[in-house]
Structure 1
Amino acid sequence: MDKITLSKMEFDGHTGCLDFEKKDGQKFIVSLDLFVDRIKGCYTDELSDTVDYANIYEAVKEVVTGDKGNLIESLAQKISDRVLSEDKRISRMKVTVTKPNAPITGVFDAMEVTIERRRKEYVILSLGSNLGDRENNILTAEDALEKIPGITEFKRASIYETEPVGLEDQPYFLNTCVGFYTDIEPFDLLDKIHVIENDLLRTREIHWGPRTIDIDIIFYGDQVIMKPELTIPHPRWNLRSFVTVPLRELKDVGQDHPDDKEVSLYRKRE
């Protein structure tokens, strides 16, 4: 992974909580580390084969000089969002925003915030429940997922009632899929999913057994992960109608009913 650094760019801006900060403005210093998977320009020596530093500089300048927000934390996020949108070759980045004249009584060199962000990926999860109030379990889990910081453009497929797979002597499930964009790392996302499952009293006593909620990562962008604790794409997703039927509302997956299990629409959602 190659790194491009734009260091200590200075701009006049109006980000701040106090009225005089918004009115009079002050100096802000911004530094960027941009990470690119093997810069092609290293081999071709062509300007078009690397990140356009001047374009990035102007993009950051536009964000800083135009911002009227309160926090440099928020300003750093806006800079990250803008820079990642400027060049698709940048896979992740680090932003440091320095406020040398922060209105704080005391002796200090500067106040600054550093954040690290990666390019957002489109993620699809499968949710299922066959214990307790099944629909409420699904809705509660979806709401908790949507509220996770770093998840955006959250979409919900319709809910389907499905015949159990594996252990057949158990209640029918309600199943659905959700899709969203995020820059949360896959294993960190898995940890957050487990917290939601635990909050809904999920137990793992019987393989393929009944459960209050089950949340699986089906796709995480184009990533392929083969670890004992996480496999992406999820194994056998394409063999399970309780996944493919709701999934087709979010992603073109071809065959929509690959097995002989019963799947019926429970609640239509646009």
Structure 2
Amino acid sequence: MSDRIVLTGVQTDGTHGVLPEEHEKPQRFVVDVVLEVDLQPAGGSDDLADTVSYADVADDVVAIVEGPHVDLVETLADRMAAAALAHPGVEAVEVTVHKPDAPIPHPFADVAVRIRREHAHRFVVALGANEGDPRRTLASAVRAVAGLDGVRVDGVSDLFETDPVGGPEQPAYLNAVLVGHTRLAPATLLRRLHRIEADHGRVRQVRWGPRTLDLDLVQHGDPRRDDDVVVDTETLVLPHPRAHERGFVLVPWAQVDPQAGLRRGDEVVPVVDLVARLDAEGQPAGVRVAEAWHPEW
């Protein structure tokens, strides 16, 4: 479960309701907002840039209530939820809109509408291993990713055997690609992938060296829908800067999602086209179909 920022009792007046008089006479609205956010980065950095400004969220709430008339409180709540989800880092939101002065001809304490909305970003993870028992490790990693709170695995590619790229002499790899949906922010998802690697004995010592498990976050969001994350920081680069040239990523990715696209600058290139560019026959050298596997999640 994610951390939370809780904002309660934001009050302002608006002209919302079905009755004609509600179109003209302002009424009091009280709003509560619960933001699900990964607050670990902010806890370590003490930097507002690593969290969500609740003052900005309150400004959004007030602007919506004081904005154009709508008939339904449900519409107000939905607009507030959309505004909250637009803030970077917000994974999910619960909005409660109270209308304590609603024109109800009976004694009552309050009436409220409560909704919950969450992101459902498509993501792509490349899996690889060449130490220990790679097949068993990769199957375990698939289950671990599927077990993350806020993650749904939609599919996993076939298993491919691939020659090592760069680094010291080492055994061939087994590789696969996993696709799914998540409400987690990219940095949060990446940290949890790193935790799964560590749980499977991954030690980061030699660059491009042999490893028990490698989980690379290749893409977060879908460039075909123009909702993919493009970022380049010391800790996170998206889309993965070398995915477009790696057969051991592209071949299984195209197999599990033939319609996938990868952003290359201002262009979104079909992954199947990237595979074809690596090899005119569509099967890049050094990437071979491995024995069948059927991972469960």
What is the rounded CA distance, in whole Å, between the counterparts of 1:6 and 1:139 in structure 2? 48
Aligned to 1:203: 203
What are the superposed Cα offsets for residues 18-50 of structure 1, whole Å, 9 maximum, x if unpaired? xxxxxxxxxxx97458999xx9xx9xxx97xxx
Query: Partner of 2:248: helix, strand, or coil?
Result: helix
What is the rounded CA distance, in whole Å, between the counterparts of 1:202 and 1:54 in structure 2? 56
Indicate whether 1:136 and 2:136 are aligned: yes
Aligned to 1:152: 152
Amino acid at match of 2:158: S
Paired residues, what number?
A: 197
Matched ranges for 1:171-190 at <5 A: 171-190=171-190
- Is the contact between residue 177 and residue 252 of structure 2 (CA under 8 Å) also seen in structure 1? yes
What is the rounded CA distance, in whole Å, between the counterparts of 2:215 and 2:275 in structure 1? 20
What is the rounded CA distance, in whole Å, between the counterparts of 2:176 and 2:149 in structure 1? 22
- Is the contact between residue 157 and residue 269 of structure 1 (CA under 8 Å) also seen in structure 2? no
- Is the contact between residue 70 and residue 76 of structure 2 (CA under 8 Å) also seen in structure 1? no
Query: Partner of 1:139: helix, strand, or coil?
Result: helix
Aligned to 1:263: 287
- Is the contact between residue 33 and residue 96 of structure 2 (CA under 8 Å) also seen in structure 1? no
Distance verdict in 2 for CA 1:232–1:262, change over 3 Å:
same
In the TM superposition, residue 255 of structure 1 has moved relative to its aligned partner by 2.2
Query: Partner of 2:229: helix, strand, or coil?
Result: coil
Aligned to 2:169: 169
In the TM superposition, residue 190 of structure 1 has moved relative to its aligned partner by 1.3
- Is the contact between residue 126 and residue 177 of structure 1 (CA under 8 Å) also seen in structure 2? yes
What is the rounded CA distance, in whole Å, between the counterparts of 1:57 and 1:165 in structure 2? 54
In the TM superposition, residue 120 of structure 1 has moved relative to its aligned partner by 2.0
Aligned to 2:232: 226
In the TM superposition, residue 119 of structure 1 has moved relative to its aligned partner by 2.3
What is the rounded CA distance, in whole Å, between the counterparts of 2:143 and 2:82 in structure 1? 32
Query: Partner of 1:256: helix, strand, or coil?
Result: helix
- Is the contact between residue 153 and residue 178 of structure 2 (CA under 8 Å) also seen in structure 1? no
1:243 to 220, 245, 249: 249
What is the rounded CA distance, in whole Å, between the counterparts of 1:115 and 1:227 in structure 2? 34
What is the rounded CA distance, in whole Å, between the counterparts of 1:235 and 1:192 in structure 2? 20
Deviates more, 1:232-241 or 1:159-168: 159-168
Distance verdict in 2 for CA 1:58–1:175, change over 3 Å:
same
- Structure 1 unaligned regions, length at least 5: 9-28, 61-82, 99-113
Indicate whether 1:57 and 2:74 are aligned: yes
- Is the contact between residue 6 and residue 31 of structure 1 (CA under 8 Å) also seen in structure 2? yes
- Is the contact between residue 131 and residue 212 of structure 1 (CA under 8 Å) also seen in structure 2? yes
Query: Partner of 2:174: helix, strand, or coil?
Result: strand
What is the rounded CA distance, in whole Å, between the counterparts of 1:119 and 1:56 in structure 2? 22
Deviates more, 1:140-149 or 1:116-125: 116-125
Query: Partner of 1:170: helix, strand, or coil?
Result: coil
Amino acid at match of 1:242: F
- Is the contact between residue 119 and residue 183 of structure 1 (CA under 8 Å) also seen in structure 2? yes
Distance verdict in 2 for CA 1:265–1:96, change over 3 Å:
same
Aligned to 2:106: none
Distance verdict in 2 for CA 1:138–1:59, change over 3 Å:
farther
Query: Partner of 1:208: helix, strand, or coil?
Result: coil
TM-score of the two chains, using structure 2 as the length reference:
0.56
In the TM superposition, residue 6 of structure 1 has moved relative to its aligned partner by 9.1
What are the superposed Cα offsets for residues 107-146 of structure 1, whole Å, 9 maximum, x if unpaired? xxxxxxx998652211101010000111111011110000
Query: Partner of 2:189: helix, strand, or coil?
Result: helix
Amino acid at match of 2:237: T
What is the rounded CA distance, in whole Å, between the counterparts of 1:198 and 1:122 in structure 2? 24
Amino acid at match of 2:249: V
RMSD: 3.9
Distance verdict in 2 for CA 1:203–1:176, change over 3 Å:
same
- Structure 2 unaligned regions, length at least 5: 1-8, 13-29, 36-55, 98-113, 222-227, 261-269
Aligned to 1:101: none
Query: Partner of 2:195: helix, strand, or coil?
Result: helix
What are the superposed Cα offsets for residues 138-187 of structure 1, whole Å, 9 maximum, x if unpaired? 01111000010101243211111111111362101000111111111111
- Is the contact between residue 146 and residue 154 of structure 1 (CA under 8 Å) also seen in structure 2? no
In the TM superposition, residue 241 of structure 1 has moved relative to its aligned partner by 0.2
